[in-house]
């Protein structure tokens, strides 16, 4: 039998062969003309994918946490007030991270699986003068998706910068950074952007860049400092070499291939493909009788699904059986419910057939665990949504 499993976790994901080809190609000099061209194109293409025509992209070797760090380090000065809108584990991470740069952090927490009411956010903004607020577009620990629109709007109204952690959303969920008033939108390469782990990707809008320029104190993180990176991004975009830290040459070439594919698909089509696959996965889990962490499908992510295990089934029992049937899934992450649920990633290059195979593998695993359901109910429901 073909020894191939689908990697259906919420990042890293399945990657396109052309992207992996670029990653495995002989490494060029970081000042070679072809590489300069690829880097320059990446910067231009990020503006299109993020829908931020006036944004300044930053491409830096690192993971999504570094992207979070870059936004915080460059904007926060000691004593600044920051509001974290938390819908799970990654909101909590942002709160801890901001404190390292001396921010006074307030956290507004949504109940598990739920979103915050924009009215409650506005009440908080009326009470205290914040420099920035952070929002996790999709919290990968809960599969809860927040609508960034009212938040960006409130940010503009109250003069507060909005930082969007889009690690589990950019290039999958609908995002229109500039139109929606998002000052920084950040992600990592290994999710819907479609490149193996290794790149921190940030787009900062004019207000965020102004806050950085107006700083009274130096940025408290040497590697993250835009003072070091802005000239490099400017040089490569002008098709000239630049050096601060050696760029991850192969990753950037792979990013250029992936961004090209994303734009070729078209953002609107890409958003609707993700939305349809997300709906199909949730419907399949419903059909199998599996409850999900998001309390309402209106705020459930399109990039991943988070079902609870049925009564009597545990992760250590189920997940290896699903893997043996062909799909690698992830266990829980949110500390309150870690052992009660699992996560299915479906973003980036994912095809309808990948989802059907995954739902089939989940059915096989559930059946092998002794769970009673109508075989094929999940697959058939997913297919109905996919071809509707």
Residues that bind ligand PMP (CB under 6 A): 11, 63-65, 90, 136, 139-140, 165, 167-168, 188
Distance CA(215)–CA(7), nearest Å, equals: 43
Residue 5 and residue 326 in contact, taking contact as beta carbons nearer than 8 Å: yes
Residue identified by tokens 């199909």 is: 280
Q: Quick one: 95 or 287, whose CB is closer to ligand PMP?
A: 95
**Nearer to ligand PMP by C-beta: 250 or 303?**
303
Beta strand spans in the chain (E): 6-7, 56-61, 81-86, 104-109, 132-136, 138-139, 144-145, 161-165, 184-188, 199-204, 304-305, 327-328, 330-331, 342-345
Sheet harboring 56-61: ordered strands across? 56-61, 199-204, 184-188, 161-165, 132-136, 81-86, 104-109
Give least dist CB 250 to ligand PMP, A.
Answer: 18
Nearer residue to ligand PMP within complex by CB, 90 or 226: 90
- Tell me the C-alpha to C-alpha distance, in Å, between residue 202 and each of 175, 216, 228: 14, 23, 15
Give 215: exposed, middle or buried? Use CB within 10 Å, 0-12, 13-18, 19+. Answer: middle
CA distance 71 to 57: 12
Please, what is the minimum distance in Å from the beta carbon of residue 333 to ligand PMP? Answer: 8
Least distance to ligand PMP from the beta carbon of 94, Å? 8
Give the largest CA-CA distance in the chain.
Answer: 64
Among 8, 303, 338, smallest CA distance to 168 is for 303
Half-sphere exposure at residue 303, Cβ-oriented, CA atoms within 13 angstroms: 33
Cβ proximity to ligand PMP: between 61 and 313 the closer is 61
CB of 63 to ligand PMP, least distance (A): 3
When the beta carbons of 334 and 366 are compared against ligand PMP, the nearer one is: 334
Q: For residues 63 and 228, which CB has a smaller minimum distance to ligand PMP in the complex?
A: 63
Q: CB of residue 146 vs ligand PMP: minimum separation in angstroms?
A: 11
Q: Pick from 355, 218, 214: which is nearest to 277 by CA?
A: 355
CB nearer ligand PMP, residue 134 or residue 292: 134
> SS3 for 86?
strand
Shortest Cβ distance from residue 334 to ligand PMP (Å)? 12
> Closest separation between CB of residue 245 and ligand PMP, Å?
18
CA angle 305, 297, 193 (to 5 degrees): 45
Q: Choose between 11 and 365: whose C-beta lies nearer to ligand PMP.
A: 11
Write down the least CB distance from residue 52 to ligand PMP, Å: 19
């Amino acid at each position: 039998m073909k020894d191939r499993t689908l990697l259906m976790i919420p990042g890293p994901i399945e990657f396109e062969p052309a992207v992996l080809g670029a990653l495995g190609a002989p490494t060029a000099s970081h000042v070679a003309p072809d590489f300069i061209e690829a880097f320059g194109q990446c910067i231009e293409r990020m503006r299109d994918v993020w829908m931020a025509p006036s944004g300044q992209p930053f491409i830096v070797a690192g993971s999504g946490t570094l992207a979070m760090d870059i936004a915080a380090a460059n904007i926060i000065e000691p004593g600044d007030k920051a509001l974290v809108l938390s819908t799970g584990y990654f909101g909590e991470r942002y709160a801890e991270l901001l404190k390292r740069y001396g921010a006074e952090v307030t956290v507004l927490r949504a109940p598990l699986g739920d979103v915050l009411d924009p009215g409650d956010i506005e009440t908080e903004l009326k009470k205290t003068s914040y420099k920035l607020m952070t929002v996790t577009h999709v919290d990968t620990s809960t599969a809860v998706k927040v609508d960034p629109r009212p938040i960006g709007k409130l940010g503009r109204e109250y003069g507060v910068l909005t930082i969007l952690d889009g690690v589990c959303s950019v290039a999958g969920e609908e995002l229109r950074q500039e139109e929606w008033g998002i000052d920084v939108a950040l992600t990592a390469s290994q999710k819907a952007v479609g490149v193996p782990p290794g790149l921190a990707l940030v787009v900062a809008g004019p207000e965020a860049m102004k806050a950085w320029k107006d700083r009274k104190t130096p940025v408290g993180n040497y590697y993250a400092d835009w003072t070091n990176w802005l000239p490099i991004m400017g040089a490569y975009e002008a098709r000239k070499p630049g050096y601060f830290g050696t760029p991850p040459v192969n990753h950037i070439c792979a990013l250029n291939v992936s961004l090209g594919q994303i734009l070729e698909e078209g953002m609107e089509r890409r958003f609707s493909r993700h939305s349809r696959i997300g709906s199909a996965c949730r419907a399949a889990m419903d059909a199998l009788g599996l409850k999900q962490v998001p309390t309402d499908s209106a705020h459930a992510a399109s990039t991943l699904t988070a079902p609870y295990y049925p009564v009597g089934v545990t992760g250590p029992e189920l997940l290896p059986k699903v893997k043996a049937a062909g799909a690698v899934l992830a266990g829980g992450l949110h500390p309150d419910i870690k052992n009660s649920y699992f996560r299915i990633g479906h973003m980036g290059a994912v095809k309808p057939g990948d989802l059907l195979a995954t739902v089939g593998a989940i059915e096989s695993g559930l059946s092998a665990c002794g769970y009673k359901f109508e075989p094929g109910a999940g697959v058939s429901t997913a297919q109905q949504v996919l071809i509707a």
